[in-house]
Structure 1
């Protein structure tokens, strides 16, 4: 299997279909993040509480027609954490 040929094939198809093109909209934007637990201690219910608060707020904003970015998998600093 030639991976470079396969990659070119799919990149061409994606370009033709516009699969990665964003659709502009006039909805208000909302961005929310939460801090992941550090590696220096044990996990406890308080860690889940922080994620749950952010998740509930993001879902509430989506239900109220906001364009929400909730980048799970990134630390509060914006760096990848997974």
Structure 2
């Protein structure tokens, strides 16, 4: 399975409410997209400090980009990861 497929799986798990499984996948990678997922997961968890740490490692995404709409942000990540 490719990294992209696994990261999309992490997004789908997060969307289904399985924070722990999504977090396990996201923390296994260190590329900007994995860091973005990781940031959103900590936003969902309510750990703003940790979330902002991971946003700083995304290469351009910020905590306030989607304000507190984590569902819309996960949708955006899924679109980013889905091949056309």
Do they fold alike, i.e. is TM over 0.5? no
Q: Structure 2 length normalisation: TM-score?
A: 0.27
Q: Which has the higher strand share?
A: 1
Q: Which has the higher helix share?
A: 2
Q: Structure 1 length normalisation: TM-score?
A: 0.27
Q: Which structure would you say has the larger Rg?
A: 1
